[in-house]
């Protein structure tokens, strides 16, 4: 019998350390593979003839505002290292050359100012690592806070004895929280053995209560390992503290209980209150006192960006200010984005509407059940939380008669733009964010950066049209004035979007993400559908029925773009049309439900093909892969709602098993849940790893998870080629392409845990 402990080079668990003989420590230091293994911030970098050139149009106010960097530099205490490179600039300037720890507190191990001239010059530096070993250092050229210039480097090298950490992962993996009584209950064991292996089941006292043999699955492509299954689905009675054992390897403990998700759904919803902008976070509404904080951006009154962007485009600003106080911070930073707000708010409101319109489902989160300031106000608490963001979205709508400059037409991928002054009446600003990225740690009330709205976009405008319509019908009998406000904003936004159908998002200042989208047919369909459901008006119905995306649902294929997210919203329309009473022919509503069942079936059929028994077969794991898995759970639950097939709801639970520890990294991706859960989400306030004066993350935040498609953050840049699929993850605060948390990822976690807590797999 052969049992292997799987070694995954980028997960910190059971650390041993070692150094190696002197060698080249940079990968692709000669740029033969363009920018592979390098990362860039605040500028554009092109590679030609093995030379990397940064065009610096907006240098910012700090050296770190513009960076060309390389991660995974392991330094061993007492060792000598040699740095060399060639560099030039089109004008005399200087850059900061340094090696530092890859995250807070950014300890400098080597730093010097390198003066550059218009001719190529060679540079060489030596240093000794006097401080303790660090396997997580990074090399940087910091080029901010200098002159506008073109800086070029080539033949970059660091030579020495690299220090590395071997990070071993237990081969025995299981959902560390537990299973619902009638759910499938699979644990997983990684081993090259082709023969079944003997396992034991221990109770909470360590007494052996059962035994059996594993079921060899074979090769799991998504993790690159051979996997065995342990099927405990026959266990249906409530039990606590169970543990599996194979030889001397024990699993984390797990329960069998109908209340697995009862607390988790509340913590997942609390995420939104705790990431509110414009309001004090009160200790009496959060899980720990140190999660309380003063209000961030209590007066978010801003104007349009009015400076030169990183691509050299001069933005003229606008002659008015707009009050966009409130809403939710999008992710770990302090930006707020209309398009990400849209799908997030829709998901929460859809969960409420499901409770309203399906007889077998209770309305979730009744008044007084959630710890927020608005509880006990006579309104469902889920709606109270959603309204905080709806009001922000409405505030992003531009008043009548105002003009702004924006790129019109397909220019979002261009560095140089042609800006046009347009009548922006009732268009919606795409984002509000800091002018420059802030550091970690930083509480929202400590943010001193200038803030701007960027520009309006058609996508943002259609998001307000869709959410405004959804709001109008829900609040009609709750708050008629607010309902009318929502409907007016929605109809005005619809008209404005149709008058300006090609204004695309552009990342015109550094302290924010682009959230760009060049395909807007789905947003037009979604907005028209929500307006049609709410108003019943014929012209909206015509838009719905004539859309090429009418009754669209994901196909359940291996394309990572096949799951709903902020850039693919047409299935939201189909879900609403299938659920909420409307004037479509009954045959069309039935077809919408059939399409949803078809998608659910495509997802459910993937469970048997995956080593970790999840409804998720994809070629690559994208940014936010865990949220894709949670969003698939929404379709699986609706598939169950419309067919009664319990296999769909079991598949949704299988997805949660993976998220909560039944995965090749043996880690729970929800903060605070499981014996080994993520602790370092990319978040400026939940940043205890950076400073003891900041709190650890609140429980109930869903981490983005494995990402094998984007290696653009400083830590991930060194992982390319060293991981595949489900193993491209590390729990480090600076690894934002993997360890980010966002509102649109936590919304499906709220939705799915709430649905799984309804009791359909309990008896």
Q: Which alpha helices (H) appear in 605-624, and where do they start and end?
A: none
Is residue 498 within 8 A of residue 527, CB to CB? The reply is no
Q: Alpha-carbon distance 69 to 714, whole Å?
A: 7
Within a 10 A sphere around the Cβ of 445, how many other Cβ atoms? Answer: 15
Cα distances from 214 to residues 103, 217, 418, in angstroms, run 41, 9, 63
Within a 10 A sphere around the Cβ of 17, how many other Cβ atoms? Answer: 12
What is the number of helices (H) and of strands (E) in the chain? 13, 32
Q: Considering 517, 543, 740, 757, which one is annotated as catalytic?
A: 740
Within a 10 A sphere around the Cβ of 375, how many other Cβ atoms? Answer: 18
Q: Alpha-carbon distance 595 to 69, whole Å?
A: 47
Q: Quick check: is 682 catalytic?
A: yes
Cα distances from 543 to residues 496, 536, 644, in angstroms, run 15, 12, 32
Question: Is 46 strand, coil or helix?
Answer: strand
329 CB-contact burial (10 Å; exposed 0-12 / middle 13-18 / buried 19+): buried
Q: Considering 682, 683, 713, 757, which one is annotated as catalytic?
A: 682
Q: Considering 65, 102, 523, 731, which one is annotated as catalytic?
A: 731
Whats the size of the chain, residue-wise?
763
Phi, psi torsion values for 342, nearest 5 degrees: -60, -55
49 CB-contact burial (10 Å; exposed 0-12 / middle 13-18 / buried 19+): exposed
157 CB-contact burial (10 Å; exposed 0-12 / middle 13-18 / buried 19+): middle
Is residue 187 within 8 A of residue 174, CB to CB? The reply is yes
User: What would the two tokens of residue 523 be?
Assistant: 């947003």
Q: Alpha-carbon distance 167 to 8, whole Å?
A: 6
User: What would the two tokens of residue 366 be?
Assistant: 């009744």
Phi, psi torsion values for 750, nearest 5 degrees: -60, -50
Q: Quote the DSSP letter at residue 444.
A: G
Q: Which alpha helices (H) appear in 196-301, and where do they start and end?
A: 262-274
Is residue 206 within 8 A of residue 213, CB to CB? The reply is no
Q: Alpha-carbon distance 447 to 462, whole Å?
A: 30
Q: Quick check: is 740 catalytic?
A: yes
For the chain, the first-to-last Cα distance in angstroms comes to 39
Q: Alpha-carbon distance 520 to 581, whole Å?
A: 26
Q: Quick check: is 559 catalytic?
A: no
Is residue 560 within 8 A of residue 628, CB to CB? The reply is yes
Of 332, 317, 334, 561, the closest CA to residue 433 belongs to: 334
Catalytic residue set:
682, 731, 740
């Amino acid at each position: 019998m052969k049992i292997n402990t799987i070694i995954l080079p980028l997960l910190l668990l059971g650390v041993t350390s070692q150094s190696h003989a002197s060698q080249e420590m940079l990968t692709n230091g000669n740029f033969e593979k363009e920018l592979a293994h390098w990362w860039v911030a605040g500028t554009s970098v092109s590679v030609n003839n093995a030379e990397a050139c940064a065009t610096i149009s907006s240098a910012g106010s700090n050296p770190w505002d513009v960076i060309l960097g390389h991660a995974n530099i392991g330094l061993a205490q007492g060792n000598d290292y040699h740095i060399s490179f060639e560099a030039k600039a089109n004008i005399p300037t200087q850059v900061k050359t340094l090696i530092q720890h890859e995250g807070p507190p950014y300890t400098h191990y080597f730093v010097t100012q390198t003066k550059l001239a218009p001719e190529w010059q060679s540079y060489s530096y030596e240093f000794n690592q006097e401080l303790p070993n660090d396997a997580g250092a990074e090399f940087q050229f910091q080029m901010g806070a200098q002159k506008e210039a073109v800086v070029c480097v080539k033949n970059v090298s660091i030579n020495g004895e690299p220090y590395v950490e071997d990070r071993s992962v237990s081969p025995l993996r299981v959902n560390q929280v537990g299973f619902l009584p009638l759910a499938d209950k699979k644990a997983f064991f990684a081993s090259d053995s082709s023969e079944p292996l003997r396992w034991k089941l221990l109770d909470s006292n360590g007494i052996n209560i059962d035994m059996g043999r594993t079921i060899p699955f074979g090769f799991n492509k998504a993790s690159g390992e051979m996997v065995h299954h342990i099927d405990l689905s026959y266990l249906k009675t409530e039990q606590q503290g169970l543990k599996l054992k194979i030889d001397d390897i024990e699993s984390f403990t797990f329960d069998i209980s109908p209340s697995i998700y009862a607390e988790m759904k509340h913590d997942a919803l609390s995420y939104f209150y705790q990431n509110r902008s414009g309001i004090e976070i009160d200790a009496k509404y959060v899980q720990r006192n140190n999660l309380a904080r003063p209000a961030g951006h209590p007066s978010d009154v801003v104007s349009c960006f009015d400076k030169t962007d990183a691509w050299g485009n001069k933005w003229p600003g606008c002659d008015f200010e707009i009050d966009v106080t409130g809403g939710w911070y999008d992710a770990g930073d302090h930006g707020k984005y209309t398009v990400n707000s849209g799908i997030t708010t829709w998901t929460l409101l859809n969960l409420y509407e499901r409770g309203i319109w399906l007889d077998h489902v209770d309305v979730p989160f009744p008044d007084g059940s959630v710890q927020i300031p608005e509880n006990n106000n006579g309104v469902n608490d889920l709606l109270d939380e959603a309204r905080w963001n709806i009001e922000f979205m409405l505030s992003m709508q531009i008043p009548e008669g105002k003009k702004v400059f924006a790129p019109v037409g397909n220019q979002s991928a261009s560095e140089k733009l042609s800006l046009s002054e347009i009548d922006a009446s009732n268009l919606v600003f795409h984002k509000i964010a800091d002018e420059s990225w802030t550091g970690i740690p930083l509480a929202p009330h400590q943010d001193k950066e200038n803030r701007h709205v960027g520009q309006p976009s058609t996508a943002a405008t259609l998001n307000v049209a869709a959410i405004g319509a959804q709001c109008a019908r829900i609040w009609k009998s709750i708050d008629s004035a607010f309902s009318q406000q929502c409907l007016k904003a929605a109809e005005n936004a619809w008209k404005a979007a149709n008058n300006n159908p090609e204004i695309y998002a552009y990342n015109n200042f550094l302290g924010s993400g682009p959230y760009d989208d060049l395909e807007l047919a789905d947003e037009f369909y979604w907005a028209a559908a929500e307006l049609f459901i709410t108003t019943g008006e014929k012209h909206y119905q015509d838009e719905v029925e004539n859309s090429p995306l009418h009754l669209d649902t994901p196909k359940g294929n291996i394309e990572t773009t096949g799951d709903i997210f902020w850039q693919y919203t047409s299935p939201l329309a189909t879900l609403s049309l299938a659920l909420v009473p409307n004037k479509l022919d009954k045959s069309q509503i039935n077809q919408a439900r059939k399409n949803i069942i078809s998608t659910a079936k495509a997802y459910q059929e993937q469970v048997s093909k995956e080593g970790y028994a999840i409804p998720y077969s994809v070629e690559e794991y994208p940014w936010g892969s865990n949220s894709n898995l949670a969003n698939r759970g929404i379709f699986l639950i609706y598939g169950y709602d419309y067919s009664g097939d319990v296999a769909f709801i079991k598949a949704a639970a299988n997805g949660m098993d993976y998220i909560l520890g039944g995965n090749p990294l043996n880690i729970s991706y929800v903060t605070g849940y499981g014996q080994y859960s993520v602790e370092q989400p990319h978040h400026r306030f939940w940043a205890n790893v950076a400073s003891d004066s900041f709190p650890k993350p609140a429980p109930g935040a869903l981490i983005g998870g494995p990402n094998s498609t984007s290696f653009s953050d400083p830590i991930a840049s060194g992982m390319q080629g060293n991981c595949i699929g489900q193993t491209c993850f590390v729990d480090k605060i600076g690894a934002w392409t993997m360890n980010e948390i966002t509102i649109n990822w936590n919304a499906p976690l709220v939705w799915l845990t709430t649905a799984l807590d309804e009791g359909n797999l309990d008896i």
